[in-house]
Every structure is written in C-alpha cells, then in structure tokens.
Chain A
C-alpha cells in the first residue's frame, strides 16, 4: 500500500524532472510563447498593469528633481520617431503656423489650443530622469502646461475614464488612465533644456512625465481625446505593457 503511493509520487516527480529539462531548453532560444501562449502573456500583463496603477502608483507622489548641472548632454539623450525611422526625416505638421492641439471627446468644452494659448497658461518646469523601457536613463529639463490645467479648462464628463494622445508621427498614439494624466508632473511640454522643442524632440508639443516610461510620452501631439473605453497605443498594441509607469 505504502509502496504503491510512494512509487506513484516517485513517478510523478520523475515526470516533472523529465518535463523540466526540455521545458527549460525550449523556454530559451528566443521563443516568444507562440500563438497560444503569447496572447495569454499579454492578458496576464493586464494584472501587472492593475498592480502598477492601483497599488504601486502614488497619484500625488512626485519624481525626484535634479539640478540643472545633472542634465545629460543632448547628444547622449536619444531621439526617436517612427516617421524618422521610416523616412530619415522627423515628422512635421502640414503647416506649423496652423498647428493646434485638438482637445475633445467626452468633455463639456472641447477646444483647440494653439501654442500661444498654451504658453499663456501657468507653466511647470522640472529637471528629471527619463526612463526608457530599453533600460537607459537620461536627465533633462522640460517645461510645459500640466495636463490637469487643461483638464480643468475642458471639463471632462463623468463617464470619461481615459485619455488618448494622438500624434502626427505615423499615427503614433498612447492611451492613459486619467489618474496618471492628472499627476502633478504630467505636462504638455513645449520646451526642452530651456529651448523650444526641436523637431527631433517632438515639436511643437509633446507629452512628458517622469512617472512613465518614454514610450508612453507621445511626441508631435495633434489631439487629446477623453474616452470611456481604454485606448491602446502604438507600442502597447504590439505587446508593450499598457500602464508603463515607473
């Protein structure tokens, strides 16, 4: 009797050992999980998004600020644009003078904000560390209007839960939860290191926040839309974590 139970257990663990070996080997080799596991992994990532958003994220805790002397030399702070990767030139709006940010969706007062209008709003400037999902960091100074200020102007409707940021950079876009958007350091930035945004940095206006990974910070902004349903994102749709908070 005892022997029977024991040999069963033994066989089970042998089996586990036998499976563990090849599984470990299979796990490597640059495998992404295949058509069955890969979507499940992404779905599981939503649990980590939830933990990141609801448990680890402090809506009012601010990222550390650095002295101006800590700035990373500009040439060591990589620039990135989907259009640039494709064509070799940075994206530009059809007519920069006519550019304005379209703020709409589930809001009481939809509006178009020109750069001049944004520059008259109270601004925030900080020198903070940028965290790229790739693992590198860089320090820079960003100046702009807190998203919360624009929110107060347009008055989101109660059913609005998310914000979609669109760009004119090859349809790059990002979806944000409103709490992250309302974070005191989330700004619509029009200056980098005390100078107007260069084309390589997302001119004329980009989203910035030290509490998000770089890919969440939409450059070359064209529209800001309040939604009920959760918008994805250019990289997020391809598998990057949606919340992307640091």
Chain B
C-alpha cells in the first residue's frame, strides 16, 4: 500500500494512544480467551455433536463428530476442561467489565462505539480497502470499520458470556436458555462464538501488521507514532 502523501514516520507526532487499563485488559483478555477456547474445546470433545441425540440440529458444524486435536485443548480430560473453563470465566468476564467500565467513565467509548451515523463512513472505508476509492477517508482515532469491529467484539463477548451461563444453568436460568432457543441451540451459539472470536483475532492481527503496525507498539507501551495520530 502506498502512502506517498503522508509524512515520513520520523515527522509524525508521538502521541499517547492507549491508557494502561485498556492495554492491560487487552493482553489479559487475549490470554484468557485462548484459555477459554482451549478448555471449551476440551468440553466439546466429550460430545462432539449438536442437538438431541435422535434429532441432530440442522445447522452446519464442520467439526461434527471430530475430536479436536490435543494441542488445542486445555484441561487434560472433561473434568479438567470444566474446571479451567469455569475458573477462567471469572477473570475473563471481570476484565471485560473493567474495560467497559473504563470506556464509560473516561469517555473513550466515543472513539470506539459504532453508531448508525458511522454507517456511511464504514461504506467509504470498505470501498477504500477494496481499491474502489483512492483517498483514505478522514478518520479520528479509529475508522468506522474499526468501530464496527471493536463494538462487535464486545457484543460477541457479551453473547459468549450469556450463552455460556445459559448452558451452565439451563434449568435455573431457563428464561435465558429459552431466549437463545433452548439448551441444544444455545450450546450451538456458544460454539459459534468460538469461530467468530478466532476469525476476529486472525483479521485483527493481520490488519495490525498490514495497515498500522505502529499500533502494536501503542497497545504495548501506550505510545504511538503512526498514521492516525488524530484523536476524537
């Protein structure tokens, strides 16, 4: 990608981009998410199907009946997987809540929350990425597509948590389980969140290196000398 019109990196201003809370939450979350997925797959391995035993769900599952390979598992066996999953769920959820709480109190949410008015800007951004538009649309700290992604991933975390509770206590929290379509379907949605988390992470990491490598330093040290120094 060519950015001929942009100042050389030495001329770019050095700005404080991410607060300590955000950076800590980000990296802790990465570790906890890996643990949640690996222990979750260990649990999945105990019954690698979806739906009632005599009525499988008519929804796609490329891993139906497939044993997840050992390298992707955490817990050693079903009980170990359960214990890891239910233990890591606490710091996973707490980290998420601290992050959201910080965004709310600091006002940082303004640069992250995707709102309906961002829709047009998101389309322009997508056109730019598809090379159908020459100029990079003006943006603040994050562009509209980033806002969509970072809002979506929080929503995904919330859905993963809620569907998790719904299959953890399908009788005590029957209202929640019913909301997601019953136990068998909820267990499927919970599994789908894994795919979405993995897909998000791959895209997220790829874009960091392809589009804005300076943001990696920003997420580690907080300081950023990159293409998008403007703040809103």
> When the two chains form their complex, are residues B84 and A135 in contact, meaning their CB atoms are under 8 A apart?
no
Question: A17 to nearest B CB, angstroms?
Answer: 6
> When the two chains form their complex, are residues B172 and A246 in contact, meaning their CB atoms are under 8 A apart?
yes
Residues of B within 8 A of A133 (CB): 46, 78, 82
Task: Confirm or deny: A58 has a beta carbon within 8 angstroms of a beta carbon on chain B.
Answer: yes
Q: How many A-B residue pairs have CB under 8 A?
A: 147
> When the two chains form their complex, are residues A27 and B35 in contact, meaning their CB atoms are under 8 A apart?
yes
Task: Confirm or deny: B169 has a beta carbon within 8 angstroms of a beta carbon on chain A.
Answer: yes
Name B187's closest neighbour in chain A (CB-CB): A135
Asked if A56 meets B87 with Cβ closer than 8 Å, knowing A13-B27, A38-B80, the reply is: no
Complex Cα spacing A42 to B80, Å: 9
Task: Confirm or deny: B173 has a beta carbon within 8 angstroms of a beta carbon on chain A.
Answer: yes
Complex Cα spacing A234 to B24, Å: 41
Task: Name the interface size band of chain B.
Answer: 35 or more
Asked if A72 meets B78 with Cβ closer than 8 Å, knowing A13-B221, A24-B31, the reply is: no
Task: Confirm or deny: B73 has a beta carbon within 8 angstroms of a beta carbon on chain A.
Answer: yes
Question: B37 to nearest A CB, angstroms?
Answer: 9
Residues of B within 8 A of A13 (CB): 23, 27, 220-222
> When the two chains form their complex, are residues B73 and A30 in contact, meaning their CB atoms are under 8 A apart?
yes
Residues of A within 8 A of B43 (CB): 135
> When the two chains form their complex, are residues A45 and B87 in contact, meaning their CB atoms are under 8 A apart?
yes
Task: Confirm or deny: B86 has a beta carbon within 8 angstroms of a beta carbon on chain A.
Answer: yes
Beyond A133-B78, A245-B171, 16 additional contacts (C-beta under 8 Å) are A20-B31, A23-B31, A24-B31, A24-B35, A27-B31, A28-B72, A30-B75, A30-B76, A32-B77, A33-B75, A44-B87, A134-B47, A135-B46, A138-B53, A211-B172, A239-B80
Using a CB–CB cutoff of 8 Å, the interface residues on chain B facing chain A are: 20, 23-24, 27, 30-31, 34-35, 38, 42-44, 46-47, 49, 52-54, 70-80, 82-84, 86-87, 168-174, 183-184, 187, 220-223
